[in-house]
Amino acid sequence: MVDEAALIQAALDVRRNSYSPYSRFAVGAALWTVDGSIVAGCNVENGSFPLSVCAERAAVATAIGLGHRQFMAVAIVAGDDPVTPCGGCRQVLLEFGDMDVICVSARDCHRVSRYRLRDLLPHAFDLEELR
Ligand code: THU
């Protein structure tokens, strides 16, 4: 069972480390792995703007490096209103299976929107074609 409160807290905590001097839009993301671990990441911007990395992708890269391969949920904390992951991050997350997407306002962590990843990315590129 996903400990949603702990997952949201991890996303809140990591968001404080966001490096976002250009957009000033801090994002924290935390993944719940199938074995019950939490792995978090924040957005890391770059003066060469396209090289910036989203929080979700930072979390995925860290989790994969730690040996995780499957996630049950991701919590994302950003914005005044809850924000959903960008299109690219939806595809990157889906690589590791369908999951709950818990989007939380950074202003009020009780404002939460919940989705299923597949519903956020209908007609996704079919990974089975590559396997
Ligand atoms: N950002 C994320 O970290 N995740 C998203 O899903 C959307 C956007 C970051 C990228 C950039 O650093 C800032 O938010 C503004 O776009």
* pLDDT of the residue at 127: 79
pLDDT digits (tens, 9 = 90+) for 73-125: 999 999 999 999 999 999 999 999 999 999 999 999 999 999 999 999 999 98
Determine the residue of 15, 18, 25 to mutate for testing ligand 1's pocket, defined as the one with the most ligand atoms within 8 A of the Cβ atom: 25
Distance from Cα 17 to the centre of ligand 1, integer Å? 14
Q: How many structural domains is the chain composed of?
A: 1
This prediction has a pTM of 0.96
Q: What are phi and psi of 118, to 5 degrees?
A: -60, -30
pLDDT: is 34 or 126 the higher one? Answer: 34
CATH code (residue 42): 3.40.140.10
The distance in angstroms from the start CA to the end CA of the chain is 30
